[in-house]
Amino acid sequence: MAEHDEGYGISILKPRGTSMRSEVRVIRLVLAGWLLSIVAFQVFVYLLEVNYSELLLNELTFFNLPIHFWLTGQFLPLWFIILCALFNFWMDRHSVRSLDGSLRFTVRGSRSREGE
């Protein structure tokens, strides 16, 4: 995915065009939320286990479940659903905006032709 100067230069690292740039920005945000949640929760659980022993993990419960079971087994799948829904809401709005933009462009184009 390195930069190169020939051709169309499609790359997720160097998006081109207004539409692709904003789409890639949202993809990066969603993927950051996805990656951070997975890594951070496991590191958190690992540090709890290493530093405070199993007793604390047993004591810390949420919705009846030990905290690590709840965070990983219940919350993370729910978080993934939320991330996907947020991405879709944004994509829906983005596609409407793109459509508006292309319609405005068409109307402006036809007006300017009319003026000629």
Least Cβ distance, residue 109 to other proteins (angstroms): 13
Tokens 């965070």: give the residue.
Answer: 71
Least Cβ distance, residue 65 to other proteins (angstroms): 4
Residues that bind other proteins (CB under 8 A): 1-2, 4, 6-12, 15-20, 23, 26-27, 30-31, 34, 38-39, 42-43, 45-46, 49-50, 54-55, 57-58, 61, 63-66, 68-70, 72-74, 76-78, 80-81, 83-85, 87-88, 91-92, 95, 98, 101, 105
**DSSP letter at 60?**
-
Q: Are 13 and 1 in contact (CB under 8 A)?
A: yes
Residue number, 62 or 110, with CB nearest to other proteins:
62
29-48 as b/e: b if 16+ CB within 10 A: ebeebeeebeeebeeebeeb
